[in-house]
Structure 1
């Protein structure tokens, strides 16, 4: 089960952190015993998690902070959990980083980001939310960290941004989720807000690089609420020669790729779409690695309550842009270190039939399969199949669209090619599918009997060529 995440030797004399950590430990054994809990995805030792926050590479580690309820497996009591990794696969749990300062009128520590200030001091910037009973607007707070990011203290000058900031319009009181980016030697911050009938992303600047002092600069991007109800968890960053905006609008995460006007501080999209086709991938965040690689993180949601745990992160994804400016997502290569003995089959043609894969079974799998469509109306690979074939999770093609565990994904013309290549990761109750080299990504939470462990290839209404098939069992990271 692993060591406790917060021992007496940790700098956690803070009674709020000690209380939260003890609560997590109390539920750890029950969470670990659940056979549906993912084992090669990141998750807390127990209890609830949601949005990844403060993703960054620092001191030789990738760090992930995350929204965490240490007192239950449902949303509430928002703290910030914390973990780090050298390879984005194996994770080390660290002490809880942020807690609601109840004595200062704080009810929750909502989402935000991590950044290093001009002097090298680590900062967390987040949305401070009052208790539900208090009708006060949100504020943007800061916390300062030790060099190893293990301990944090609230900034004495909190709040660092308020609604009555000089020159700013009267934004709605639920503004939230700050994100820091830098460009041409300048330091900026964006967050989600509303302004009358518009959803907006205001932009602030730290003129001298001090992350506790911000000046309002304008509205980076805006949309009518009839189109975008709110910009939750906005991420804004440069990738190559383009600028990328991700946001979570209470539905699947959306992207916009385009141009950033450095004089007007406004953003103009050129390509737009869904980052992941499913709303079970939510609240994106990004970090840049030591070689400049962009790593995408997201929260997998949709699990049932009552198991002692709820939520995990999607597999970290290497993010690039296609030649026409669309996001390409591929799981990090280090996942290959989890592979067990491979199983493969020779190319074959299916004709309105299924082929049970005798050499593959289980609920922790990586599968790479390539099809060449012919006359079959439906084809693909079926996992978590019952022994009698009555049940299973379809991953494939149906009527010209993707069918991922019963979730239909319509394809645009640019997504249709002569072959269908699927990269599939099955982790107990979590399924992630990447299509045609990461042009399309789909995340699903499954609810299937734990005894359904078989696999098969299938075709209906004609023929399909199976060009290649390889599968690996994957080891637990815990």
Structure 2
């Protein structure tokens, strides 16, 4: 009887583990166990990409906030390390950033090279201020600065604002023109991004505030500031423009998301362009708290792939939370001004090309059941559009479930429909995301990443992006293209499967 009980237990445990792991992404980062949300301290140093992140090392729910840590050599294969900065006796370690203090402006490093983290210390909802820690061993161990807090209270042109319950998420970068460190930090309920400057990362001076514009339906969090290159239509770099990202509300009311502003920054003040705000980085439900990588020549960002509307509810019982694919940012100059472009960073030896075809009428592919070996793949395709009927493709197709990506030439909208995608985490989860996406010379290009429970759609070279979680409950390894013979043709299609 005891042996039977043991066998039954092992079988049940194995089935439970499979059930928990079947949605775990393979080329996106997720923690081995327990809770994760915002990315923190994204930085490149000595051949390693560092990802620090909001982490509860004790439970699979929000709380006990500390900094987790993972490293990668290609931004796709990640190795999780020990907790980098654990919670203190009185404070939790909230979001922040990490810089490479290569000129030892802080005075912490004898060999003129080390990492400095600046983060928000949250005193269990009673007070927030900014703290510093530093590392001399590539981020493996950290020393909390004895002079903390480095910014005990927020400031303004009128003087001190006093100690605040909400004053958080510092994002640090080096401003070459003024030869100073710049901090962007938020006053969430005042819908403001504050800018501070420093020459040594320890002593900070208030410079200016930006806010009161854009989307103010939800509090402002996790600012990110980066200088983004501008290219002409021939691919030649012609200039730069500053991009300020703020996590707040998404396009759909009631859901979190990210908005951005473009403009100029002189080391003191951010001056937004004369545009209609808000503009959104992503038109899906699951992209939040993205910040830039430091110490790299490219404009790269990474975001948390979830939504506060249902973040605690996904059926991934071993862990909660996953990160987006890394995106490279640029602007494209055209007749209408400049357009933000986000391209996925996906170069890796793990991709295996399994299909490449060209010049195929839509009617020829309509209804064909394509099948991959797994639910981790990349689809790239170009449609030439001649008609007015909807067309697109169905992915993660299984018994009574599918996720549909479609294009409406009349409204010039691309959509992602997850209303039949499988397990629904709550009543707010089934949704259809839509975004305005004009054709370019009568063509629509799609770059689609599918990673078990994650779908990222980059349309028209990343000028429109939609990111959504899905939880297929069946095998769901099929995908289909749909359209009619008068609609146009599939100019090209390539399929890669991810192999560990």
Which interval holds the TM-score relative to the shorter structure? 0.7 to 0.9
Indicate if the aligned counterparts of 2:221 and 2:248 stay in contact, CA closer than 8 A.
yes
Aligned mates of 1:79, 1:298 — CA distance in 2: 18
Q: Does 1:238 align with 2:239?
A: no
Equivalent position of 1:397 in the other structure: 407
Equivalent position of 2:436 in the other structure: 411
Once the two structures are superposed, residues 183-233 of structure 1 have per-residue CA deviations (whole angstroms, 9 ceiling, x without a partner) of 2211121101057xx411111111xx22121122221x1115973543211
Once the two structures are superposed, residues 287-345 of structure 1 have per-residue CA deviations (whole angstroms, 9 ceiling, x without a partner) of 1565x11211011015615611111111111111212333211111424x221242133
Equivalent position of 2:148 in the other structure: 158
Aligned mates of 2:377, 2:474 — CA distance in 1: 15
Q: Choose the corresponding residue for 1:186, options 171, 177, 180.
A: 180
Superposition deviation, residue 417 in structure 1: 4.9
Equivalent position of 1:325 in the other structure: 338
Distance 1:242 1:40, change over 3 A: same
SS in 1 for 2:187: strand
Indicate if the aligned counterparts of 1:339 and 1:472 stay in contact, CA closer than 8 A.
yes
Q: How many residues align?
A: 431
Distance 1:471 1:211, change over 3 A: same
Superposition deviation, residue 470 in structure 1: 1.4
Deviates more, 1:345-354 or 1:34-43: 345-354
Equivalent position of 2:30 in the other structure: 43
Indicate if the aligned counterparts of 2:152 and 2:163 stay in contact, CA closer than 8 A.
no
SS in 2 for 1:377: coil
Aligned mates of 2:316, 2:330 — CA distance in 1: 38
Equivalent position of 1:259 in the other structure: 264
Indicate if the aligned counterparts of 1:127 and 1:178 stay in contact, CA closer than 8 A.
yes
Distance 1:64 1:306, change over 3 A: closer
Aligned mates of 2:215, 2:405 — CA distance in 1: 33
Equivalent position of 1:79 in the other structure: 66
Q: Choose the corresponding residue for 2:470, options 446, 452, 457.
A: 446
Superposition deviation, residue 462 in structure 1: 5.2
Once the two structures are superposed, residues 146-166 of structure 1 have per-residue CA deviations (whole angstroms, 9 ceiling, x without a partner) of 231100121111111122659
Distance 1:30 1:130, change over 3 A: farther
Aligned mates of 1:66, 1:244 — CA distance in 2: 22
Q: CA RMSD in A?
A: 2.6
Q: Choose the corresponding residue for 2:379, options 342, 367, 381.
A: 367
Aligned mates of 1:412, 1:367 — CA distance in 2: 19
Indicate if the aligned counterparts of 2:433 and 2:466 stay in contact, CA closer than 8 A.
no
Aligned mates of 1:422, 1:30 — CA distance in 2: 34
Aligned mates of 1:111, 1:192 — CA distance in 2: 11
Superposition deviation, residue 410 in structure 1: 2.8
Equivalent position of 1:200 in the other structure: 192
Indicate if the aligned counterparts of 1:73 and 1:305 stay in contact, CA closer than 8 A.
no
Q: Choose the corresponding residue for 2:445, options 421, 424, 433.
A: 421
Structure 1: gaps (5+ residues): 1-28
Superposition deviation, residue 269 in structure 1: 3.0
Superposition deviation, residue 374 in structure 1: 2.4
SS in 1 for 2:347: helix
Q: Does 1:307 align with 2:317?
A: yes
Distance 1:212 1:288, change over 3 A: closer
SS in 2 for 1:334: coil
Equivalent position of 1:223 in the other structure: 212
Superposition deviation, residue 464 in structure 1: 3.0
Indicate if the aligned counterparts of 2:76 and 2:346 stay in contact, CA closer than 8 A.
no
Aligned mates of 1:434, 1:225 — CA distance in 2: 24
Distance 1:32 1:319, change over 3 A: farther
Aligned mates of 2:137, 2:330 — CA distance in 1: 30
SS in 1 for 2:367: strand
Aligned mates of 2:453, 2:118 — CA distance in 1: 33
Structure 2: gaps (5+ residues): 1-15, 108-112, 230-239, 250-255, 419-431
SS in 2 for 1:253: strand
Q: Choose the corresponding residue for 1:355, options 349, 354, 367.
A: 367
Aligned mates of 2:161, 2:403 — CA distance in 1: 50
Superposition deviation, residue 59 in structure 1: 1.9
